[in-house]
Amino acid sequence: MQKGEVIRKKIIDTADALFYQQGFAHTSFTDISDALGMSKGNFYYYFKTKDDILNAVIKKRSEAIRLDLEQWDKLESEPRKRLKKYVAMLTASQDVIAKYGCPVGSICSELSKLHHENLNNASEMFEVYRQWLEEQFRQLGYKKEARILSLRLLSRGQGIALITSTYNDKVFFQHEIAEIMAWIENL
C-alpha cells in the first residue's frame, strides 16, 4: 500500500471511530485531524468535505459486512449455524454496543434525523444484512415468511442494542441474546 493510501485509510478509520463514538454531526474535521495529529491542510488533500469522509466510512463498513457474510457462508454449511454467527457477532461486540449502540443503527438513525442525503447509502448496510438473513430463513424452509423473519431478527438486534446502550445493562443483553439463540434453535 502506498503512503497516500495508508494515510487515507487512517483518516477513514479514525473518522469511523469518531462518528460511532461521538456521532456524525458532533464530529468535526478538527476532531478527526486532531485525533490523527495531522494538519487540516494535509487532511483536505484527501477529503474535501465531511460528506466525502462519511461516504468512505459507509463504504468501508459495507465492505466489512459483506466480507463477514461471505466468511460465514464459507465457514458454515447450515443456515441455522449461519444465523447463530450473526447473533454471535452481536455478542462479540457487547462492550462497545453497551457504550455506543449499534454502529449501523446509530449512523442510520442520526442521518435520518438530519434528513441527510447519504441516508440511503447508510441504510444499504441494513439491506445487505436483511437480504442475507432472508436467504438463511429461506434455506430453513420459511419461503413465505423469510422477509418478515429477517426483519424481526434485525429489529430485535437493534432494540437490544438501543436498550443495552441506554441502560448500560449487559445482563439484559445476555438474556435477550440467549432468547434469540433459543428462537433460532427452535425454528
Crossing angle, helix 3-22 and helix 103-113, to 10 degrees?
70
Say how many domains are in the chain: 1
For 143-168, write each residue's pLDDT tens digit. 999 999 999 999 999 999 999 999 99
Contacts of 54 (CB under 8 A, 6+ apart): 15, 19, 24, 118
SS3 track for 146-159: HHHHHHHHHHHHHH
Does residue 69 contact residue 56 with C-beta atoms inside 8 Å? no
Q: Are 172 and 163 in contact (CB under 8 A)?
A: yes
pLDDT of the residue at 3: 84
Instruction: Map residue 84 onto helix, strand or coil.
Output: helix
pLDDT score recorded for residue 77 = 95
Question: CA-based diameter of the chain, in Å?
Answer: 57
Q: Which helix (H) or strand (E) holds 75?
A: helix 50-75
Average pLDDT in the chain: 95
Q: Give me the domain span that covers residue 25.
A: 3-185
Q: How far apart are CA 151 and CA 56, in angstroms?
A: 26
What does the pLDDT read at residue 41? 79
pLDDT the model gives residue 4: 82
Say yes or no to pLDDT of 92 above 80: yes
Burial (CB < 10 A; 0-12, 13-18, 19+), residue 4, is: exposed
| Distance from the Cα of residue 180 to its chain's centroid | 19
Per the structure block, which three cell numbers stand in for 84?
447463530
| pLDDT at residue number 103 | 95
Residue 1 in this model has a pLDDT that exceeds 80: no
- Any idea what the CATH number is for the domain that residue 83 is in? 1.10.357.10
Predicted confidence (pLDDT) per residue in 39-72, tens digit: 877 878 899 999 999 999 999 999 999 999 999 9
pLDDT (tens digit per residue) in 105-137? 999 999 999 999 999 999 999 999 999 999 999
pLDDT of residue 40: 79
